[in-house]
Amino acid sequence: MRIAVLPGDGIGPEVIGAAVEVLKHVAPDLETVHGDVGLECFSRRGEYLPDETLDLIRESDAVLFGAITTPLKAEGYRSPILRIRKEFDLYANLRPVRNPAPGIGLVDMDVIIVRENTEGMYTGEETVDDEGVDLKRRVSRAASERICRFAREISESQSRKSVTCVHKANVLRKSDGLFRDVFYEVMEESVIESRDMIVDAAAAALVSNPQCMDVIVTLNLYGDILSDEAAALAGGLGIAPSANLGDGHALFEPVHGSAPDIAGKGVANPTASFLTTAMMLEHIGRTEEAGRIRRAVTATLSAGHRTRDLGGGLGTKEFSEQVLSRL
């Protein structure tokens, strides 16, 4: 099997470099091929996402992605990650959020957020006139159906307790109303409990009563915001993994960005990229190796080894060495 490795910018190469070492350790048989992407790639080659990188993704079984810095002058800039999501129809954004070890995070939670990745508020179709800007917001039956189906399958395969559809159908009656109706249609014969919640109530519940939340399925913008909120509550951006999944391709990335403020200092927390690697391994059927990585990360954190974002003093390299020694 072949893994495309796209480290990108900022702390991307630091945390993905550490993740590849871990990957090589647990699954030495996997072929890893590095590809170019991002702002640094643009400064060298004049393009953010070269065709050869797209070909590499096409020919790989999974993609391990770091982060990209958005240029200050974003005129004409098209986000490579949005382009990849569109090109390969990666319609589901999957973000499991749980505390990586006891005592880390502000509240305890074990939540899976399934976010619709292709439409909603992120159509990018903005029209400017003299008075302001119009934005096209799209909610289609087909996209709602496939994301709700995806959430149902994840919940059933992992024997979760409930799926909550998060929306704002009290105001956006037709569009979010359609999403909620499709959700109940899809869940009709499932053994998993299904319910729905208004997005503002869901945001509050994640803080005040996170144990009532299990799997959440939601529209693009709400999922974007709720998943960062949940990650912050469970230990911060340094610990949060994610996947972008379609029917034929899969891209795995830490939730955090390129963190220019700490890039090159060797202090980034690689936990998110280790847990991202575990998600990727699970996706390609290497469940045993995925479990080994997760257990090594938990054991390392439980033994008190922490990077600076979690109140410790270790750098990326020292923390990674602790994880590797446990593997």
Of 206 and 259, which CB lies nearer to ligand ATP in the complex structure?
Answer: 259
Residue 163 or 226 with smaller CB distance to ligand ATP: 226
Nearer to ligand ATP, 210 or 241 (CB): 241
State the amino acid at position 323 in one-letter form.
V
Taking each helix axis from N to C end, the angle separating 12-26 and 287-302, rounded to the nearest 10 degrees, works out to 120
Closer CB to ligand ATP, 144 or 242, in the complex: 242
Q: Which residues are catalytic?
A: 122, 168, 200, 224, 228
Considering only 242, 258, 298, 322, the residue that binds ligand ATP (CB under 6 A) is 258
Q: Cβ neighbours of residue 298 under 8 Å, at least 6 residues apart?
A: 100, 101
Does 272 sit near ligand ATP (CB under 6 A)?
A: yes
H or E segment to which residue 217 belongs: strand 215-218
Q: Based on the shown chain and the rule CB under 6 A, indicate whether residue 259 belongs to the binding site for ligand ATP.
A: yes
**Residue 299 interacts with ligand ATP (CB under 6 A): yes or no:** no
Report the distance separating Cα 301 and Cα 256, nearest Å: 19
CA-to-CA distance for 222 and 179, rounded, in angstroms? 13
Name the token pair of 108. 């305890």
Nearest distance, CB of residue 247 and ligand ATP, angstroms: 28
Site string for ligand ATP, 8-47 (x = CB under 6 A): --xx---x--------------------------------
- In DSSP notation, 49-114 reads S-HHHHHHHHTSSEEEEEE-PPPSS-TT---HHHHHHHHTT--EEEEEEE-SSTT-SSS--EEEEE
Query: Which residue among 66, 96, 235, 238 contacts ligand ATP (CB under 6 A)?
Result: 238
Name which of residues 59 to 118 contact ligand ATP (CB under 6 A): 67, 69-70
Q: Which residues contact 266 (CB under 8 A, 6 or more apart)?
A: 14, 315, 316, 317
User: If binding is defined by CB under 6 A, does position 262 make contact with ligand ATP?
Assistant: yes
Residues at the site binding ligand ATP, with contacts judged by CB under 6 A: 10-11, 15, 67, 69-70, 237-238, 256-262, 268-269, 272, 309
